[in-house]
């Protein structure tokens, strides 16, 4: 008789799973060149070795002045200033600004001593080569970026657990930090099971299907910062699955087993996982559609996710459980989903109470704002997701969602 799954709520299953995954150690880090660190997870906080900017500088082309000297300036009664000289770009000014004096400087140039503001060049007019008239007053600090206004010396500018984006790379370079310590990319073993599954380059015989899951899951892992390792197609044999799983246990940081998680006479995954070491299976069955027969386990220090074989179910479960596990191994902070957009649902959708549902939607732009158009399809239809821009969540306490409901769309990367 088939075992009846005891379904666990999604948030409870995820919490139990993540709490059982050991924190990544210092041995899982590496030093890399900053220019090669895009997309990598920072392993330790970065502290500014100096202030940024390192000196007071102008944000415009103009004249450095003492702001108080411009207080009465106007187009009808310009203020007269003697030129103290020009500040050369890339050098510290040798001149200073005194009462009634101005110094020509260019955007990014260093403010000379004595000056506390910059008059834009369009608010001045030249008298001759020795003097100008200022047509508009400025206040102290106007058109000036102060030393340390962006970053103070000793300040933690990027905490550990941040995935480095182009702006972080630029900021590190601005501080002269040309090497950073990042998390090593965790190796994720991907096992695809089933006697009916063949490689994509083969013509399936009647009753056979091409392998979708190991390739789509490998892409998910690669995009999220992991290192996917496909172990090929494993037949429906407990001995073969156990042998490959044990090899993966010694070679990887995380294991994903696609198919074999359903409750049936061919349910091999749960039995094999139980042989791989404690604490073993934490959850077998989640109150989720698609993805109810999901298995979550930790064997030794290696998290294991048993995913349903249907490709839509597998990708939904990967987003809900595999990616958070990978993020923990990377020490990442922040949201687990790439991006969330709010949209109006174009049609009512039904759901079964007590189960958390995820439904694919396509986004459309309308004069009224962003619209979420439901895409209905079975969990074995991969092009349901190809046609979609993201997923919406129907909470377990809701019998569905009404048309025109405001929903959050969790965008695919």
Both 291 and 351 in a single domain? Answer: no
Domain for residue 1, yes or no? no
What is residue 266's predicted lDDT score, i.e. its pLDDT? Answer: 47
Burial label, 18 (beta-carbon count in 10 A; 0-12, 13-18, 19+): middle
Give residue-wise pLDDT tens across range 339-375.
Answer: 788 999 999 999 888 889 999 999 999 888 899 999 9
Structural domain ending residue among the three candidates 268, 300, 330: 330
The CATH number given to whatever domain includes residue 281 is 3.40.980.10
145-149, 176-180, 267-271, 327-331, range with the lowest pLDDT: 267-271
Both 211 and 261 in a single domain? Answer: yes
Structural domain count, the chain: 4
Both 77 and 196 in a single domain? Answer: no
Give residue-wise pLDDT tens across range 112-170.
Answer: 999 999 999 999 999 988 999 999 999 999 999 999 988 899 999 999 998 898 999 99
13-22, 39-48, 92-101, 350-359, range with the lowest pLDDT: 350-359
Give the C-alpha separation, 314 to 290, whole Å: 8
Give the C-alpha separation, 158 to 178, whole Å: 14
Domain for residue 275, yes or no? yes
End-to-end CA distance of the chain: 41
Give the C-alpha separation, 54 to 175, whole Å: 10
Give yes or no for residue 215 having a pLDDT over 90.
Answer: yes
Burial label, 108 (beta-carbon count in 10 A; 0-12, 13-18, 19+): middle
Burial label, 391 (beta-carbon count in 10 A; 0-12, 13-18, 19+): buried
The CATH number given to whatever domain includes residue 154 is 3.90.105.10
The CATH number given to whatever domain includes residue 403 is 2.40.340.10
Both 260 and 227 in a single domain? Answer: yes
* 316: Cβ contacts below 8 Å, ≥ 6 apart: 288, 290, 291, 358, 391
38-47, 123-132, 146-155, 256-265, range with the lowest pLDDT: 256-265
Give the C-alpha separation, 52 to 34, whole Å: 18
Give yes or no for residue 411 having a pLDDT over 90.
Answer: no
What is residue 273's predicted lDDT score, i.e. its pLDDT? Answer: 94
* 19: Cβ contacts below 8 Å, ≥ 6 apart: none
- Mapping DSSP onto H, E and C, the string for 140-187 reads CCCCEECCCCCECCCCEEECCCCECCHHHHHHHHHCCCCEEEEECCCE
Both 245 and 166 in a single domain? Answer: no
Structural domain ending residue among the three candidates 125, 145, 165: 145
Both 239 and 264 in a single domain? Answer: yes
- Segment 57-78 shows an average pLDDT of 96
Question: Which helix (H) or strand (E) segment is 384 a member of?
Answer: helix 383-386
Given the DSSP bridges, would you call strands 356-366 and 288-289 parallel, antiparallel or unpaired? parallel
Both 192 and 310 in a single domain? Answer: yes
For residue 210, the enclosing domain spans 10-27+185-330
Give yes or no for residue 202 having a pLDDT over 60.
Answer: yes
- pLDDT averaged over the chain? 91
Domain for residue 83, yes or no? yes
What is residue 1's predicted lDDT score, i.e. its pLDDT? Answer: 41
Given the DSSP bridges, would you call strands 369-374 and 295-299 parallel, antiparallel or unpaired? unpaired
Give the C-alpha separation, 376 to 388, whole Å: 10
Both 43 and 171 in a single domain? Answer: yes
- Segment 287-309 shows an average pLDDT of 94
Give residue-wise pLDDT tens across range 385-399.
Answer: 878 888 999 999 888
Both 141 and 198 in a single domain? Answer: no
The single residue listed with the structure tokens 């000014």 is 93
Burial label, 26 (beta-carbon count in 10 A; 0-12, 13-18, 19+): exposed
Question: Which helix (H) or strand (E) segment is 234 a member of?
Answer: strand 227-234
* 207 Cα distance to chain centroid: 40
Structural domain ending residue among the three candidates 297, 330, 363: 330
The CATH number given to whatever domain includes residue 65 is 2.170.190.11
Domain for residue 307, yes or no? yes
The single residue listed with the structure tokens 């687990």 is 336
Percent of the chain's residues with pLDDT above 90: 74
Q: Which residues make beta-bridge pairs with 85? A: 103
Local structure of 115: helix, strand or coil: coil
Both 325 and 192 in a single domain? Answer: yes
The pTM score is: 0.79
- Segment 103-108 shows an average pLDDT of 96
Domain for residue 226, yes or no? yes
Both 280 and 139 in a single domain? Answer: no
Q: What are phi and psi of 67, to 5 degrees?
A: -55, -40
Local structure of 122: helix, strand or coil: helix
Give the C-alpha separation, 259 to 103, whole Å: 73
58-62, 240-244, 249-253, 352-356, range with the lowest pLDDT: 352-356
Domain for residue 257, yes or no? yes
Give residue-wise pLDDT tens across range 72-103.
Answer: 999 999 999 999 999 999 999 999 999 999 99
Domain for residue 45, yes or no? yes
Both 41 and 173 in a single domain? Answer: yes
Domain for residue 2, yes or no? no
């Amino acid at each position: 008789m088939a075992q009846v799954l005891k379904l666990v709520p999604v948030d409870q299953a995820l919490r139990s799973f993540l709490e059982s995954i050991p924190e990544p150690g210092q041995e899982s880090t590496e030093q890399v060149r900053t220019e090669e660190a895009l997309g990598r997870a920072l392993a330790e906080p970065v502290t500014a070795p100096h202030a940024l900017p390192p000196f007071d500088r102008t944000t415009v082309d103009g004249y450095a002045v003492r702001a108080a000297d411009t207080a009465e300036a106007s187009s009808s009664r310009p203020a007269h200033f003697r030129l103290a000289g020009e500040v050369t770009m890339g050098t510290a000014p040798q001149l200073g600004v005194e009462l009634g004096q101005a110094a020509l400087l260019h955007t990014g140039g260093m403010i000379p001593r004595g000056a506390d503001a910059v008059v834009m060049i369009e608010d001045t007019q030249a008298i001759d080569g020795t003097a100008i008239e200022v047509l508009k007053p400025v206040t102290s600090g106007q058109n000036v970026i102060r030393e340390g206004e962006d970053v103070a010396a000793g300040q933690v500018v990027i905490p550990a657990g941040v995935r480095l984006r182009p702006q972080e790379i630029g900021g590190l370079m601005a501080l002269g930090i040309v090497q950073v310590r990042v998390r090593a990319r965790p190796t994720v073993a991907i096992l695809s099971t089933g006697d009916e599954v063949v490689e994509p380059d083969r013509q399936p015989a009647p009753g056979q299907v091409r392998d979708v899951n190991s390739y789509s899951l490998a892409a998910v892992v690669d995009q999220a910062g992991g290192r996917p390792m496909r172990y090929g197609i494993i037949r429906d044999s407990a001995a073969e699955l156990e042998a490959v799983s044990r090899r993966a246990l010694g070679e990887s940081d995380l294991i994903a087993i696609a198919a074999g998680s359903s409750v049936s006479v061919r349910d091999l995954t749960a039995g094999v996982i139980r042989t791989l070491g404690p604490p073993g299976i934490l959850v077998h069955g989640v109150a989720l559609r698609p993805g109810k027969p999901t298995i979550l386990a930790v064997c030794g220090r290696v998290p294991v996710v048993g995913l349903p074989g249907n490709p839509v179910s597998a990708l939904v479960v990967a987003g809900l459980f595999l990616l958070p596990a990978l993020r923990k191994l990377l020490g990442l902070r922040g949201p687990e989903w790439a991006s969330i957009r709010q949209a109006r649902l174009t049609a009512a959708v039904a759901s079964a109470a007590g189960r958390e549902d995820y439904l694919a939607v396509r986004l459309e732009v309308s004069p009224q704002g962003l619209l979420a158009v439901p895409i209905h399809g079975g969990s074995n239809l991969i092009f349901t997701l190809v046609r979609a821009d993201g997923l919406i969540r129907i909470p377990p306490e809701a019998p569905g969602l009404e048309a025109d409901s405001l929903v959050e769309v969790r965008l695919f990367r």
